[in-house]
Structure 1
Amino acid sequence: MAALEPFLVDVPADVLADLSERLRRTRFPNEIAGIGWRHGVPLDYLREIVTYWLDAYDWRTHEARLNRYQQFTTTIDGQRIHFLHVRSRHQAAIPLFLTHGWPGSLVEFVEVIDPLTDPADPADAFHLVVPSLPGYGFSGPTTQAGWHPRRIADAFGQIADRLGYERYGVQGGDWGAIVSYNMAELRPERVLGLHVNLMNVPPPEGEPAAPPTAWATREGAAGGGYEAIQGTRPQTIGYLLDDSPAGLAAWIIEKFHEWAEHPGDPLALTADQLLTNVMVYWVNRTGASSARLYWERRQAPETMVPRRRVSVPTGVANYPGELVRSLRPHAERYFNVTHWTELPSGGHFPAMEVPAIFVPDVRAFFRPLRC
C-alpha cells in the first residue's frame, strides 16, 4: 500500500513572480460597447479582476489558511492525489468525504470545514476528507487517459482504506456528485450515506424530464458551450488556460457568475474567494488536465449514472439556483432517497455561497445514520 505523504502548500516565489509578469503583460481584446455579459465576461470587469490580482490580492494569506489543515498526497494507479484530512476533536465524529467539481476546487469547502468538524453539538461532528480530483489542483495534472468518475471513485475508496476508515459518508456537487454516486455504488457496505447537491438522472423512457431550471431557460444552448469544448478539445483550450492567467480567470470566473443563484454583477462571492480558486488551477498548471474530465465522460458515459439501484441512504439538497435537477420519482429509480429538501437560497456552489444553509442540511441528513 502506498504511503500517505504529508503535504504543505508552498508555491515557489518564482511562480508568483512569473504570474505577476504575465498579468502585467495581458493583451485584452476589444469589446462591443454595451454588450454586457451577453458575449461572456465584460472587458471592464476582467480588467478590474486583473488589477486587483496584481495590486491587492495576497496569495500567501490564503496559502496559510489552507495550511491550517492537515494535508496529504498519495499515489494510486500512478496518479498523485492530494487531500485535506481534518479530524474532529469530538469522539462521536464520523468520516465524510467532500468532493468538488469544475470549475471549483477544495477552496469550495473552506468556509464549512470548521462548522462541520467542530459543531456546537458534538453529536453532529465529522472527520473530513476533502480530495482534489485527479487532474485538478494539488493533485497535479493527469498523465494518462481513463480517469473517469468511476475510476476516481475507486481511488477515493482506496484513500478511505489508507486512512483506516471502515464506514464513511460521501457528499458532493457537480463532478463531486457524480463521483459520490459511484463511491456509493461501488462500496454500498462501506458508504453509510450519500448526500448530493446536484441530482441529474434521466427520466424513464417516454416520461418528461423535470421542467427547465432558471439557468437552463436563461442560457439555453449557450450554457453548454464550455462542455462542448472541454469534452472534445481539452488540449486545445488547455493552451489558453495554462498559459494566460487572465484567460484562465475569465474561463473560470464566468461560470461562478452564471451558476450562482443570482447571476451577474455584483456576485455574493468575494474577489479573494474567486481568485484563490483560480490560483489553485494556475499554480498547479491544471487548466488543461481538469478539462479532460469532460472528455473522459464522453468515453465512459456509463459512469454518469448507477448501473444498478444504489441501496445507500441518499439525501438530495435542491438549491434554487442549481443548473439542472431531477424529479424525485426519477431519482428514486436509481437511489434510496431518504432526504429531499427544497432550500431557500443558493446556487451551484452552495458550500461557498450559502454555508449557513449547506451545513445544517448535511448535518440533518447524516444525523439518523450515525451508529
Structure 2
Amino acid sequence: MIGRVVNSSQLDLGIGVLEESAKLLALLKTEQVEAFDLDDLKLEFRLVDALNEEGVDQFAIIETVIEGKGLSAVGREICSRALDRLTTKRLITFHAHNRSLVRSVLASSPERMETTDVWDGPREFQRTCLELVTEHGSPSPKVIRAMVQASGFSLVYEVGKGLDTSTVDVVLSELNTLEAEEKYAGTIKTWVNGLQSKSEAIAQWLGGEARSISPLLLIALSEKMTPRWPPLASLHSEVLLGAVEQAAGLQSSAVTATLALVIGLQRGEKSGALIVARTFEEVHQKLIESALPWSAWQWLDSELPRDRWTLILNWDRAGRLRRGLVRAFVEHHDWDAKNLEATLYNPSTRNFVVSLCEQTSKGRRLLDRAGLR
C-alpha cells in the first residue's frame, strides 16, 4: 500500500463487511497511516460519533480508545482529541461499566469540572468528580460556581466540610448572585446547611466590605444561625434594607421584612428606627391577615412583649407587635421619635398605636416628641 493513498470509498469497498467500530479500530492501530487519506476518512469525527453512540456494545471501543492499547502514534493522537469531545452523558453511562477508566478521562480534561452537567449527574459520578477536584485541596472557584449552579448536585455536605475560608467566600458570593426566586431557595438552604462547620468563615464574609445580600441567602443564614447571631444582627442597615427592596413583590418578601424588623427592634442605635420604619407596616399587615409564615413569626415572637395576666393579648400577634414597637421607641433613647410617624403611615395602625400610647405616661411623652398629639 506504500505510495498509494487510500480514500474512504476504497476503504469501505475493501473492508465493508466490518462494523464501523471495527473499521475505526483497524485504522487506529495500523502503522501504515501514510497510506490513508486522513482528511477524507474523517477518523476523528467518525470516532467521536462512535464513542457517543448509545448502547453497551460500544464499551469495547471506548475502553480501547481510553487505554490506548495497540494504537499507533497517530491513532493515539486522534483518540486523545476525540476523548475531549466525548459527551458527559456518555461518560456517565460508561461510568457504571468502568469507573477507573472514566476517572482517567476526567482527570485528563479538568475543564469538564467547570460545567454544570457533570455535577447534575448521578451521585456516584459526582463522587468520582469530587475526588478529582479535591485531591489537592478545595475546588477552584470555577468548579464551585458549576456546583452551585447545578440543580442536581447532591454532595454539598461532603464539599462543605473540606472548604477553606477563601472557598467559603466563593460559595457565598456565588449563592448571592442567584436570583431571588423561590426555585433557588432549596439550593441556597442546602449549601448554607452544608457550611454548618464554617461559621467563622461565614462571619468573615458577612463582615467584609459593604455588600448587598440576596433575600434568600439572608433568610437561609438566619434560619441556620438565628437573627440574633452577631454577624447577622450587626449587618449594616443599607444591606438589610437592600435585601428588603430586592424581595419586594416576591414570595420571600414578608419573611425578609420580618427578619429585618427583628434585627431593627433589637438595635439601639438610630439605624434601628430606620429599619423598623421600612418594615413594620408590611409585617403588621401580614399578622392581621394571619398570613405571616410560621418561621418568621418564631423570630419575631421572642422580640415582642407578653402580657403576664391577659392571655388573649398574647394571642393578638398584631397587637403584640404594636406594643413591641412602642416599647422599642420608649427604651431606645437614640431613636428619633419623629421616625414613629414615618413608621405609622397607615392611618388605622396609627390610631391603634396612639391609643396604646395614651394609656401610659411614657407613651404620652413619646407621642409628644413624635408630634402625634
TM-score by length of 2: 0.26
Larger CA Rg, structure 1 vs 2: 2
Flag the structure with higher helix content: 2
